């Protein structure tokens, strides 16, 4: 079952539920109405809008929440935490619930120096030193580059500005880019620990028939054939795709949100409404194809160009290198939390990931299973503070 398929369904849902106007990066992309102004400062917290340039020229938006609402202490002595969102969303997603329920502000109130990262292509990270997002060259990347350029640039920036090692929190795609980078020893020496929520690595057991149908139709190859570099609801006739897929036997389109992410137990309806108004964000077609490759190959590997000579030119071999997740340093403190109802980070696939970590130092690996949680509960669940976030903070405090 393909994460690409789930991606398509998410975009179908949003395109049929929300009316968009204009291009991303225009009225919705100015720093004046950015994440700090709309979702942090309004609650009485300090927040800084920052920009970080990657080694390959992408200019990323980063928000820093240096202290809690009460202004608790000296920033220089606070422990920095980087929070990395998943696929098709941006840093705003962490902040849709109120201050007592969303992760960044909870961390700030608990004495952490919080940095929210936004990957390339999302609404506030659509700039480049030379490329324009209206050109295919801007979108020539997949999650490989997110792990090789985006997160390392943010980690380096935070490390240089705080002089401290960093805690990392990722959700969904934010866990994949961390795991694959860790397996190659990248930016591990800058970290104190990592918390991975709804961890995504192996993707062969995603559930629901509608995702299965979308995967069987090989829609990623269709989009590639059409020459579409930016995957956005604004550029593709999603309603016609939706009608075609909903007509397939066994597909129930009556509740797409649940069908895509699983039966989330604990969402606030008003937060979901705000979520649907703000998302999805663009990604590259190449990124979606890369996810589909994981599903169809059964392994986590670098992007396969499908042409032997091109793979040899880039990798020095005919097939792309495989990420060996068992190479993740065994002494890197890891916290993993996954749910029993998650349609994207399926329990079977998470168990395969955990098998890759079977030689990890016992005192450095903490695994939490939440029977009733699905994919979105980890970032928007009204009880996530009590069930997940407090556990993450306790884990971090063990290594401060």
Residues that are catalytic: 172, 342, 375
Q: Where are the beta strands (DSSP E) in 328-377?
A: 334-339, 365-370
Other beta carbons within 10 Å of 295: 18
Which residues, other chains included, contact 96 with Cβ-Cβ below 8 Å and sequence gap of 6+?
A: 39, 102, 271, 274, 275, 278, 380
Alpha-carbon 155 to chain mean position: 16
Cα separation, 290 vs 107, in Å, equals 33
What proportions of the chain, in percent to the nearest 5, are helix, strand and coil?
45, 15, 40
Asked if 377 and 389 count as a contact pair (C-beta separation under 8 A), the reply is no
- Helices 209-216 and 3-17: crossing angle in degrees, nearest 10, is 110
Cα separation, 369 vs 377, in Å, equals 13
CA-to-CA separations, 216 to 4, 195, 248, in angstroms, rounded: 11, 33, 11
Cα separation, 107 vs 386, in Å, equals 13
Helices (H), 321-366: 347-356
**Concatenated DSSP letters for 156-188?**
HHHHHHH-S-EEEEEETHHHHHHHHHHHTTTTG
Query: Where does residue 378 fall: left (phi above 0), alpha (psi -120 to 50 degrees), or beta otherwise?
Result: alpha
């Amino acid at each position: 079952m393909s994460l690409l398929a789930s991606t398509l369904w998410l975009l179908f849902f949003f395109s049929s539920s929300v009316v968009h106007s204009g291009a991303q990066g225009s009225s919705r992309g100015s720093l004046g109405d950015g994440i700090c102004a709309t979702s942090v400062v309004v609650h009485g917290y300090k927040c800084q809008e920052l920009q970080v340039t990657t080694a390959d020229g992408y200019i990323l938006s980063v928000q820093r929440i240096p202290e809690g609402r009460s202004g608790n202490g000296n920033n220089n002595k606070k422990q920095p935490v980087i929070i990395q969102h998943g696929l098709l969303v941006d840093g705003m997603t962490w902040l849709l619930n109120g201050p007592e329920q969303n992760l960044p502000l909870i961390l700030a109130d608990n004495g952490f120096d919080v940095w929210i990262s936004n990957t390339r292509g999302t609404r506030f990270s659509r700039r480049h030193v030379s490329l324009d997002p209206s050109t295919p060259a801007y979108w020539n990347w997949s999650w490989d580059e997110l792990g090789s350029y985006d997160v390392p640039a943010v980690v380096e920036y935070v490390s240089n500005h705080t002089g401290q090692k960093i805690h990392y929190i990722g959700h969904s795609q934010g866990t994949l880019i961390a795991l694959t980078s860790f397996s190659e020893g990248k930016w591990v020496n800058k970290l104190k620990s990592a918390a991975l929520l709804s961890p995504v690595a192996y993707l062969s057991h995603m559930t629901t028939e509608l995702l299965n149908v979308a995967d069987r139709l090989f829609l990623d190859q269709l989009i590639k054939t059409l020459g579409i570099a930016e995957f956005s609801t604004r550029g593709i006739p999603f309603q016609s795709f939706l009608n075609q897929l909903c007509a397939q036997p066994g597909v129930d389109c009556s509740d797409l949100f649940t069908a895509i992410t699983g039966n989330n137990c604990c969402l606030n309806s008003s937060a979901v409404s705000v979520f649907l108004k703000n998302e999805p964000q663009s990604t590259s077609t190449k990124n979606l194809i890369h996810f589909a490759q994981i599903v169809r190959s059964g392994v986590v590997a670098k992007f396969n160009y499908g042409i032997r000579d091109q793979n040899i030119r880039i990798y020095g071999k005919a097939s792309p290198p495989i990420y060996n997740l068992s190479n993740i340093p065994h002494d890197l403190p890891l916290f993993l939390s996954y749910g029993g109802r998650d349609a994207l980070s399926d329990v079977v696939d998470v168990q395969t990931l955990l098998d890759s970590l079977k030689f990890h130092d016992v005192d450095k690996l903490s695994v939490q299973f939440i029977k009733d949680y699905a994919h979105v509960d980890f970032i928007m669940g009204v009880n996530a503070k009590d069930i997940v976030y407090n556990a993450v903070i306790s884990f971090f405090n063990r290594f401060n």
